[in-house]
Amino acid sequence: MDAASAADWRGLAPMRARSEASNYGMDPEGDRALKRKTKWMLFGAAVVSLALVVTAATAGQILPAACTTAATTAQAASAVSAVGIEADKTSPPVVAPPVAEQLSKAFHDVARTVQPSVVSISTMRKVEGVRGRGPFIVPFGRSPLRDFFGDDFFDRFFPQPAPEEGFVQQGLGTGVIVSEEGYVLTNFHVIDGADEVTVQLDDERELDAEVVGGDAKTDLAVIKVDAGEIEGGLKPARLGDSDQLEVGQWVVAIGNPFGLRASITAGIVSAKGRSRVGLADYEDFIQTDAAINPGNSGGPLVNLRGEVVGINTAILSRSGGYMGIGLAIPINMARTIMDSLIEHGRVDRGWLGVSIQDLTEDLAASFGYDSTDGVLIGDVTDGSPAEKAGLKQGDIIVRFNGEPVKGVDELRIEVAATAPGTRVELQVFRDGKLQDVDVELGRLEDEEEVAAPEREIAGERLGMSVRTLTDDVAQRLGYEINPGGVVITAVEPFGPAARAGLRPRDVILRVQGVEIDSADDFRREIRRHDLDRGVRLTVLSGDVERFVILKSRR
């Protein structure tokens, strides 16, 4: 090594030695600095400790939680080290907040409590008709592909399967046990037209069921199983009070979506009082975002106390699957229908005999009325309870039996839910002042309507409901100019209208060539023809007119 190199090495050695000495406290200056740092660290630790003591004394939670977390972490680290994994490379365990734990337990308790009261319903229906069509289905007329390629080519490469005369159609739904005697509440559309109904209990035992009664106007039905066959008896669900539901409240839906038995989903009450959806004549739905899918129909919607507050009925969807909007019938409405079906096998509804409409600000002002609450009487049926009581066209019904009336749907439901023969007190606004009118309700017959004739049902034998096509409805359907006629609002699955190819939103323009302008016109013209032989309808679907032969249910 030359002199320069030796000098360089001697110059570096003391620097390295000084650095090492500082690390081990051999340098006086470094030692004093270390002591100063140590004092400040001890002081900081004392301050932190004092803060923890004060916080623990006031809250009583932080130190125990910290100790618990530290102990849990240490145990997890020890367990991980025992299997040869470095503890510092694993994620620490999560300590759930108490509120989350309580909510999870609430869901668990609801499931455990209500599930034994929920049943799966299977139905079988014998269908007389032809099933079996090829891949190219043309609703009307001959396939253009057949015309282009020719019959021989089309039949060779696209053979049509042999039609099957008569077949069995199976259905699936849900129900909830409501009594120890074996009564089960479900949706009407679940059991409608069924030849056989089978109930599967929560423990997978199967029982035959009979239909006690059904009500298409609310889409509710009651079936019954032989409770004597069940060892230990049945466990009915506890029914709650749907009037006490609040928007934002947690609810749980239980059912058999797509045949997946005893499925539970959770959500909140998104809205109350949903109506004019087109699913039933009397609508007052609870809207929820708890997932409801095909097979859930008829199952219970339950609050976190384990009380049934609704009967899951339908979803609003563009795809046919769950999109966040589920609808349930309030249990208070369902209970009234259920009791009537069990006692009488039918539903007797009150009848007032008026045509009513909602109030707008301009309409109310024209009558000198300063609110839009209430309903306006547009017409009074001759010989009806309303006429006998002295109600007049232009009266505004403000209260029904002391309760405020908000709109048409609310009044229709209240009147229909009141037993025929009951005397009710109406408060009406007439000629600038309020007055009370006593009315004895009549019995609502199938061809009558308590109110709002524009939502007239076109007869059970046709399997559909229609309403007058107003300018407002026409615009919502996409028509710049109202074509007139009536619009189909609901079609019963597998009913006469469905078999004829009619669908909701179709517009019926003419009956046997006669133009119609309202639901009353439609009903009057329908009654003039032999529906067993069929009647010709001119139907507007979108912007295409077509003819349909509609025959009644035999």
Choose among 429, 370, 377, 364: nearest CA to 398: 429
**If DSSP codes are grouped into helix, strand and coil, which group holds residue 13?**
helix
Enumerate long-range contacts of 243-246, CB under 8 Å, 24 or more apart: 243/330, 243/332, 245/269, 245/272, 245/286, 245/303, 245/309, 245/330
CA angle at 469 for the pair 465 and 471, rounded to the nearest 5°: 155
Strand partners, 149: none
DSSP string, 263-282: EEEEEEEEEEEE--SSS-SS
Q: Which residue has the tokens 């795809």?
A: 319
Q: What beta strand segments (E) does 159-292 contain?
A: 164-177, 183-186, 196-200, 206-215, 220-225, 238-239, 250-255, 263-274, 285-288
Per annotation, catalytic residue among 297, 340, 355, 384: 297
Beta bridge partners of 236: none
User: How far is residue 354's CA from residue 360's CA, in Å, rounded to a whole number?
Assistant: 19
Tokens of 311: 């009967």
State yes or no: is 344 an active-site residue: no
Strand partners, 199: 121, 207
Pairing of strands 486-491, 464-468: antiparallel
Using H for helix, E for strand and C for coil, what is the string for 348-390? CCEECCEEEEECCHHHHHHCCCCCCCCEEEEEECCCCHHHHHC
Q: Per the structure block, which two tokens stand in for 201?
A: 């209990």
Gap between the Cα atoms of 304 and 342, Å rounded: 28
From the candidates 219, 281, 284, 506, give the one annotated as an active-site residue. 219
The C-alpha angle with vertex 79 and arms to 73 and 80, in degrees rounded to 5, equals 90
H/E stretch holding 230: none
For residues 25-40, b (16+ Cβ closer than 10 Å) or e, as one string? eebeebeeeeeeeeee
Residue 104 bears catalytic tag: no
Whether 191 and 214 have beta carbons less than 8 Å apart is answered as yes
Count of helices and strands (H, E) across the chain? 14, 27
The one-character DSSP state at 182 is -
- Quickly count: other Cβ atoms within 10 Å of residue 307's Cβ: 19
* Alpha-carbon span 89 to 44, nearest angstrom: 29
Our answer to whether residue 189 is catalytic in this structure is yes
Say which of 120, 189, 192, 281 is annotated catalytic.
Answer: 189
> Taken in order 486, 487, 489, 495, is the CA torsion positive or negative?
positive
Catalytic positions, written as ranges: 189, 219, 297
